[in-house]
Amino acid sequence: MIDTLSIAIRRAAASIACAGAVAAGADLLLFTAATAQYVKDKPALELSDCDQDHLATLALRACGAILNSPDLDEATRLRVLILRGKAWLSELEPAEAAADFSSALRIDPKNVEALERRAKAYTLAGEHDKAAADWTRVIALNPNHMIAYHSRGTSNLAAGNHTQALEDFAKALAIDPKSVESHLGRAAAFVARNERDKAMQEYDAALVIDPNSARAHIERAEAAEKWGNTKLAIESYLLAVKANGMLLKPRMALQRLGVETPTPP
């Protein structure tokens, strides 16, 4: 009697378990179908989703998702790689940015935007020789690219290649004679070479173009102070404050030199 009862209980339990399994299976099928429908109906990511200058984190996610698409055409892949590289630059991640721009250049070796942005990534990473090489490639594609000459000059200056920097800034000025930045670049190269008169000539040339350039006044003041010309340094720092009263750097320099300036409103 007990055995019969035991067998009946086991059979009932097995029946309940089987029914539960069938129900679970049905639920799983319904869930899978619903998920598939959701994925099917979900709108595809577009380029605009990863072209977000002020939302770099979201841009990185969107660009990554698009790049994982198995049927992505080369033109779209090129653009998304450049956009993701831009986002990496916004996040101050130069190695990742340079990697994406390099991938873009494997698709289109003459893509000027990718070359320019990779040069900026190398500059951010302190790899100034690599940046200069990329600016050289840009110049080869566009010999009248003033910004490329100036930027290569800046890279050469940072790399300690002062002669090349002077040549690059001169070429930039040949295209745009009113470039204050290129005059200041040449001045910095002359300062590095300890050529005082030539450096001061470049500062003067920059200030003829823009007498209110606070940067020009500050850099001239720093050079003058380096060479022991305290009078010119004070005069230049005061002119920088006059040009932009909110700048802290010239005020601190003047305080160090024993000159008080009015507190800005």
Q: Please write the tens of the pLDDT for every residue from 60-99.
A: 888 888 888 888 889 999 999 999 999 999 999 999 999 9
* Residue 141, H or E segment: helix 128-141
Mean pLDDT computed over 43-49: 66
Q: Are 66 and 72 contacting, i.e. CB atoms less than 8 angstroms apart?
A: yes
For domain 126-210, the CATH superfamily is Tetratricopeptide repeat domain (1.25.40.10)
d(CA 156, CA 98): 19
Burial degree of 18 (CB within 10 A; 0-12, 13-18, 19+): exposed
Q: Are 175 and 146 in contact (CB under 8 A)?
A: yes
Smallest Cα–Cα separation from 108: which of 131, 69, 143, 81? 81
CA dihedral 96, 101, 102, 107 (to 10 degrees): 140
How far is C-alpha 158 from the chain's CA centre? 18
Q: Where are the domains of the chain?
A: 46-125, 126-210, 211-265
Residue partners of 183: CB distance under 8 A and separation at least 6: 169, 173, 202, 203, 205, 206, 209, 216
Token digits of residue 135: 């600016």
User: pLDDT tens across 216-242, in order?
Assistant: 999 999 999 999 999 999 999 999 999
pLDDT tens per residue across span 98-155: 999 999 999 999 999 999 999 999 999 999 999 999 999 999 999 999 999 999 999 9
